[in-house]
Each structure stands twice: as C-alpha cells, then as structure tokens.
Amino acid sequence: MKRSVPPASPLAAMLGLPSTMLGLKPVEFVSVGRSVPRGLLQAVEVGEVERSEKPIQQFIEKHPVALVSLVIAHRVWVFPRQMLGKSLGGGWVPDFLLCDWNSMGPQWTIVELESPTVCPINRSGISAALRHAQMQISDYRRHMAENWKDLERVGMPRTKQLLKSWIIVGRRTQHSEDNQARLADFREDKIEVASYDRLLERCIDMADFRTRDRRAARMWLKGPGAKTVAP
C-alpha cells in the first residue's frame, strides 16, 4: 500500500505539497538562531579531536536546518540515514537526503559527511575517503533512478531530476588552490566537494539573513577559545 501524505494547507493541497514526508515535517528555516552555526562549529571541533564525522552527524540530526543552506530552499525536508530499500531486502543508507519541493516538484539532494581531519587530496591524488564517498553517491543515484516504484511505496515522491550532491570533508586549510583545481572535476559529475568551513559560512549567512549583519555574526562566533571561520 502506498503511504498517504496529508496536505499542508488548502493552498498547499492545490499545489500538491505534503505537510509531512516519511513522518517528518519540513524544516523551518525562515528564522535561524545563531546558536545553530555556533553549535555546528563546536561539533566540527569535537570531530577534529575524535577524528570522526560522527559528532557532526549527530548535531545535524538534531538541527537539520544546518544543511538547508546547501539548496535553494522552498519547502525542504532533511532525512538522516534514510534507508533506500530494495524490493528483495537490504539497500543503501546515505548520511543525509534533502528533498526540496518547488514549482518543478520534489528534487532530491544527497549529502555525505567525511571526517573534518581528512584531507581530500593526498600525494597520490584524490584520497581514498573522497573516492569512496563519490562511489557511494553514484550507487545512491543509480538505485534511486532504478527503484522509484519501491521508494514511492514507502513515501518518497518521485523526482524529475536529482540535484547536485555534496561531500563535506576536511577544513579549509586542507583545500589549497591546487587541490581546488582537482576537486573541480567532481562538478562534472554534479558533486560539490566542500570544507566544513564553507558549510559553516553558509549556515552563518542563513542565520544572518534577517539581521543583515554578517560581520557581527562572524565576530559573535569568536567566543573564548573558538576558532575563526575563514573568510
């Protein structure tokens, strides 16, 4: 049985917009407190100490608005570790799936997190962690394209296109100009490789949207012992 989705409002019903998807409401992003980018920065710093992306994943699962800045948001859902199941069992589990519903309908974005201590480029070229994330995204995309009927049955609306995917990895100091040139090749595969500093900046800008005071937000993040977010 296909899971029914209640409409959000009479206007939303006219537009075919759901009020919930896979049991979750869309993310509220019109007003974002400054505690979100500051909390994200703290999670990144913990991840650096632990050499793991897990603290960051756990923070974003509690504060999904931290990822909304990766898309041009209209009505957006963020799904952590959503199973992309197969009809015969098993499946894939991306770190995060974002679904933005605009005039073109639902559009999906895949986000994979890697450790903030991982350098995307090493002496041999693209790091193993980055290649692995790229292969995972390719597997997710292929599965979503080939198994939409199964995914629709559990409440994932079909899309006309998959948007750019993101791999968030390392800090800005690990993304040199030479590295950026190599990472640009990923864009041909519609994959954007970004540092956690870039995600932090996007989150700050989103939190600052109403106050229009970006300088104040950046200075506010510089609490005692806090690291400065690079310009």
What does the DSSP assignment read for 160-219?
S-B--EEEE-S-GGG--HHHHHHHGGGGGGTEEEE-HHHHHHHHHHHHTTTT--HHHHHH
In tens, the pLDDT along 157-191 reads 887 667 789 999 999 887 777 777 778 889 989 99
pLDDT bracket for residue 5 (50, 70, 90): very low
Is residue 47 in a domain?
Answer: yes
Average confidence score pLDDT of the chain:
82
pLDDT bracket for residue 39 (50, 70, 90): very high
Is residue 198 in a domain?
Answer: yes
pLDDT bracket for residue 73 (50, 70, 90): confident
Is residue 228 in a domain?
Answer: no
In tens, the pLDDT along 128-142 reads 999 999 999 999 998
Burial pattern 59-97, b for ≥16 Cβ within 10 A else e, equals bbeebbbbbbbbbebebbbbbbebebbeeeeebbebbbb
Query: Is the predicted pLDDT of residue 145 greater than 90, yes or no?
Result: no
Is residue 25 in a domain?
Answer: no
* pLDDT score at 151: 86
Is residue 104 in a domain?
Answer: yes
* pLDDT score at 168: 97
* pLDDT score at 30: 73
pLDDT bracket for residue 229 (50, 70, 90): very low
Say which CATH number the domain at 85 has.
Answer: 3.40.91
Query: Is the predicted pLDDT of residue 106 greater than 80, yes or no?
Result: yes
Q: Which residue has the higher pLDDT, 170 or 8?
A: 170
Is residue 230 in a domain?
Answer: no
Query: Token pair for residue 41?
Result: 């920065």
pLDDT bracket for residue 228 (50, 70, 90): very low
Is residue 108 in a domain?
Answer: yes
Dihedral of alpha carbons 187, 192, 197, 201, sign: positive
Q: What is the extent of the structural domain holding 208?
A: 32-221
Q: Looking at residues 116-129, what average pLDDT do you find?
A: 90
* pLDDT score at 18: 81
Q: Looking at residues 200-225, what average pLDDT do you find?
A: 66
* pLDDT score at 217: 55
List the beta bridge partners of residue 77.
Answer: 99
* Count of domains for the chain: 1
Query: Is the predicted pLDDT of residue 52 greater than 90, yes or no?
Result: yes
What is the Cα–Cα distance from 134 to 130, expressed in whole angstroms? 6
Is residue 189 in a domain?
Answer: yes
CA within 13 Å, CB half, 52: 7
* pLDDT score at 16: 67
Q: Which of 117, 132, 138 is nearest to 188 (CA)?
A: 138
